Structure 1
Amino acid sequence: MSPMNAFTMKNWDEKIVSGTEGGPRVAYAHATMAYDGVIEGESICDLLLYYAGEGYESGTTTSPSFERFEGKIDGREGTFVVRHEYTFDAKGIASTFTVVPGSATGELAGLTGSGTVGGAMGEEKMGYTFEYTF
């Protein structure tokens, strides 16, 4: 059964920034996602990835990132940005995120909130939680 609040990865473009001769290494990723549930719309996420070794199979990694949403919450339309702190390994990903103060536009102006993301690597959809106020 798919989570009620879920997102689907539409695109993932990752490039190694440093550490090509062996771990640790740093990479940059640019991703686009489609959201269903509390958030209806699409997002663009830019991540800075740290790998302890050659890849996420080598242990837990961390990734601060910013994600910009365009869509609706409770029928209100606009954009907003969240700041993530991801951790991930070969089994899956987890994140806690917070709406960047003052980033919401349009009918979403004044939005504040936080949430979580989690799921297994390779899953088509991953779940999220989002508690918010206007």
Structure 2
Amino acid sequence: MNAFTTKNWEEKVVSGTEGGPRVAHARATMAYQGVIEGESSCDLLLYYAGEGYDSGQTTSPSFERFEGKVDGREGTFIVRHEYTFDAKGIASTFTVVPGSGTGELTGLTGTGTSGGALGEDQLGYTFEYAL
């Protein structure tokens, strides 16, 4: 099973005010299992349209740096996400940043998806890749 858990989430509003449109920065750490084994650090730029979550129609970009293994090969790599979210959950599509792979992951390319319902301990992901 391809899944990840959020180990830490720190979020800070960087512009706007509570109740109105605003932008926040979040830094998160995650633990992955499945085809990706290891941990990541993710920086997200979040847009809130007003009270609570947005409608899920806008995207929030982020970069996530993985350290661990992909299908048993060790190294690091970075992906660029486009997240959508609303009160029910989150969804993301992501692409490996070209040239970001190190170690046995040098030359890694790939795309995937991640997401699930808010409040769940684990979220799922897909990852199609080539080395």
Large movers: runs of 4+ above 6 Å:
none
- Match of 1:91? 88
C-alpha distance in 2 between matches for 1:9 and 1:89? 18
Alignment: residue pair count: 130
Correspondence 1:79 to 2:76: yes
**CA separation in 2, counterparts of 1:71 and 1:21?**
38
1:63 Cα shift? 1.1
Q: Is the 8 A contact 2:12 2:25 kept in 1?
A: yes
Runs of 5+ in structure 1 lacking a partner?
none
Deviation readout 1:4-61 (Å, 9 max, x if unpaired): 10000000000001111531100000000000000000000000000011221x5225
Compute the RMSD of aligned alpha carbons: 1.0
Report percent identity of matched pairs: 83
SS of 2:50's equivalent in the other structure is: coil
Give me the TM-score of the superposition, normalised by structure 2. 0.96
Q: Which of 46, 55, 60 is residue 59 of structure 1 equivalent to?
A: 55
Letter in 2 for 1:17: V
TM-score normalised over the length of structure 1: 0.94
Q: Residues 55 and 113 (structure 1 numbering): CA distance in 2 closer, same or farther, change over 3 Å?
A: same
SS in structure 1 opposite 2:119? coil
Alignment partners' CA distance in 2, 1:88 and 1:20: 19
Would the aligned equivalents of 2:18 and 2:50 in 1 still touch at CA under 8 Å? no
- Residue 47 in 1 paired to residue 40 in 2? no
